[in-house]
């Protein structure tokens, strides 16, 4: 068979088999060209919230196509973007007053970093240090790689990356070390912003920490006049049990980034929300204080229409009730592994669950990762472990039977991997 010219993400083509071709999606399932129904247990990289092809969102896309394609957003505006901005401000933590659109989670973080640095630059305040948390991940652009954990993901690109200050991850019982480190950085007077994934660090291993620590970090930042940027690209839209994870800490970040579930997973779109103070720092008759950022597809009207429909789903359907029910169903099934010696650090926040398979080789490049993925693929389950860390982030429409099938497969897979078998 002729090799495809497509270069897939996070894929070592010298090792991977030919890609299965998906021909249709619906609900919690992907359907391939061999007639297999694949249960999407990670929401197709965390973007699908209500389920694939939610009818209300699909209809909004169809209707929008009758009137719009792309419109330059530097000189014109349009109703989908205007209405979406109002809707986002209405559901976001109080005090976020302006919305800047971009195309992806990575670009929303780039926008946030530039907003923070521009804020201090425009006021003539010499602050330029960015503080991040150990094991964090914020994207694969140069700025977001710089702010993320250093390792195999970005080793080749090290000459292009800038330095940031890193907080130790708040391991249970060591939370004060994280707070003390942030206090020390802020005391130096150079910290422009803390960039952080609230409650759950995603690609860093689905590491979880309490909302109380997030609130303490915000208080420290505020005390020293530093900004907080909440990377809610993954944690937003209900994943942690509330629409935004920041709600659980009862805080309003100075800047909040959202993407992935913003359109229910249907189309790429991102938004960076900020306080009026940050907007006003760029508002001037001096054109040099303009916020210099854009992309060709900023505020694509069709994507904005999809996001507006997603907001309607949240308003008209019992989404929070579904999330609570799903979290409880995960919790009940996760119990079987909490005292199981094959696993460690069994954890859950909202609808996100993760557990470590106890094998000698750990980390992202652990052989357990591709072996587990192959096992799940044979059983028509889309689960992509982070090395020896299995995590689940299912769409909100999965059923109890779907979850039983997933957890039974995890149970079986662990035996095979730990015993050294190759699925």
DSSP assignment of 355-409, as one string? EEE--SS-STT-THHHHHHHHHHHTTEE---BTTEEEE---TT--HHHHHHHHHH
- Asked if residues 275 and 283 have their Cβ atoms less than 8 Å apart, the reply is no
On average, the pLDDT of the chain sits at: 96
Q: Checking DSSP bridges between strand 255-258 and strand 343-349, what pairing results, if any? A: unpaired
Judgement on whether residues 158 and 246 belong to the same structural domain of the protein: yes
- Asked if residues 258 and 85 have their Cβ atoms less than 8 Å apart, the reply is no
Q: Give the distance, in angstroms, between the CA of residue 2 and the centroid of all CA atoms in the same chain.
A: 35
Does 423 map to a domain? Answer: no
**What DSSP designation does 290 have?**
S
| pLDDT score of 347 | 98
Average of per-residue pLDDT across 220-238: 98
Does 105 map to a domain? Answer: yes
Q: Last residue of some domain: 272, 293, 316?
A: 316
Give strand pairing partners of 290: none
- Asked if residues 359 and 338 have their Cβ atoms less than 8 Å apart, the reply is no
Instruction: Give residue 1's pLDDT band: very low, low, confident or very high (50, 70, 90).
Output: low
**Biggest alpha carbon–alpha carbon distance for the chain:** 69
Does 131 map to a domain? Answer: yes
| pLDDT score of 423 | 44
3-state secondary structure of 390: strand
Q: Last residue of some domain: 316, 340, 374?
A: 316
pLDDT of 208 over the 70 cut: yes
Query: Could you give the CA distance from residue 395 to residue 309 in angstroms, rounded to a whole number?
Result: 17
- Report the number of distinct structural domains present in the chain: 2
- Asked if residues 53 and 22 have their Cβ atoms less than 8 Å apart, the reply is no
pLDDT of 409 over the 50 cut: yes
CATH number at residue 138: 3.40.640.10
Judgement on whether residues 302 and 353 belong to the same structural domain of the protein: no
| pLDDT score of 170 | 98
Query: Could you give the CA distance from residue 272 to residue 198 in angstroms, rounded to a whole number?
Result: 15
Residues 148-163: tens digit of each pLDDT? 999 998 999 999 999 9
**Domain limits at 228?**
57-316
Does 25 map to a domain? Answer: no
Judgement on whether residues 162 and 239 belong to the same structural domain of the protein: yes
Q: Last residue of some domain: 289, 316, 343?
A: 316
Which strands, in side-by-side order, build the sheet including 389-392? 343-349, 352-357, 389-392
Give the count of alpha carbons within 13 A of 171, CB side only. 3
Average of per-residue pLDDT across 76-97: 98
Does 45 map to a domain? Answer: no
Judgement on whether residues 78 and 180 belong to the same structural domain of the protein: yes
Query: Could you give the CA distance from residue 272 to residue 42 in angstroms, rounded to a whole number?
Result: 24
pLDDT of 421 over the 60 cut: no
Q: Radius of gyration over alpha carbons of the chain, in Å?
A: 22
Judgement on whether residues 322 and 258 belong to the same structural domain of the protein: no
Judgement on whether residues 308 and 330 belong to the same structural domain of the protein: no
Give the count of alpha carbons within 13 A of 184, CB side only. 10
Does 79 map to a domain? Answer: yes
CATH number at residue 329: 3.90.1150.10
Judgement on whether residues 207 and 343 belong to the same structural domain of the protein: no
3-state secondary structure of 177: helix
Judgement on whether residues 191 and 153 belong to the same structural domain of the protein: yes
């Amino acid at each position: 068979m002729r090799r495809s010219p497509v270069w897939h993400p996070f894929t070592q083509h010298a090792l991977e088999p030919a890609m299965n071709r998906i021909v249709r999606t619906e609900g919690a399932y992907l359907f391939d060209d061999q007639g297999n129904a694949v249960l999407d247990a990670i929401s197709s990289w965390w973007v699908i919230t209500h389920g694939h092809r939610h009818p209300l969102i699909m209809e909004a896309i169809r209707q929008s196509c009758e009137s719009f394609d792309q419109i330059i957003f530097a000189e014109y505006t349009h109703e989908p973007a205007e209405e979406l901005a109002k809707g986002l401000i209405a559901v976001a933590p109080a005090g976020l007053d302006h919305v800047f659109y971009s195309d992806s989670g990575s670009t929303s973080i780039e926008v946030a970093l530039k907003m923070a640095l521009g804020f201090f630059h425009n006021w003539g305040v010499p602050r330029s240090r960015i503080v991040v948390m150990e094991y964090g991940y914020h994207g694969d652009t140069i700025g977001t790689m710089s702010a993320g954990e250093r390792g195999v993901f970005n080793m080749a690109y090290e000459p292009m990356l800038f330095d940031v200050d890193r907080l130790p991850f708040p391991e249970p019982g060591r939370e004060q070390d994280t707070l003390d480190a942030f206090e020390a950085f802020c005391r130096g007077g150079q910290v422009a912003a803390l960039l952080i994934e609230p409650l759950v660090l995603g690609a860093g291993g689905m590491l979880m920490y309490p909302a109380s620590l997030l609130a303490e970090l915000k208080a420290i930042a505020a005390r020293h006049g530093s900004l907080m940027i909440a990377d809610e690209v993954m944690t937003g839209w209900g994943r942690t049990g509330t629409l935004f994870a920041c709600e659980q800490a009862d805080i309003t970040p100075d800047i909040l980034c959202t993407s992935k579930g913003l359109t229910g997973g249907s189309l790429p779109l991102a938004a960076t929300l900020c306080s009026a103070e940050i907007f006003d720092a760029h508002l001037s008759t001096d054109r040099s204080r303009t916020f210099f950022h854009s992309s060709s597809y900023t505020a694509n009207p069709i994507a904005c229409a999809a996001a507006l429909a997603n907001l309607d789903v949240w308003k008209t359907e019992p989404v929070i009730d579904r999330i609570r029910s799903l979290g409880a169903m995960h919790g009940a099934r996760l119990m079987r592994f909490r005292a199981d010696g094959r696993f460690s650090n069994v954890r859950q926040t909202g609808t996100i669950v993760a557990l470590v398979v106890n094998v000698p080789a750990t980390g992202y490049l652990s052989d357990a990762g591709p072996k587990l993925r192959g096992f799940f693929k044979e059983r028509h389950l889309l689960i992509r472990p982070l090395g020896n860390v299995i995590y689940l982030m299912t769409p909100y429409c999965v059923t109890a039977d779907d979850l039983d099938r997933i957890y039974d497969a995890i149970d079986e897979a662990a035996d095979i991997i730990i015993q050294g078998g190759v699925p």
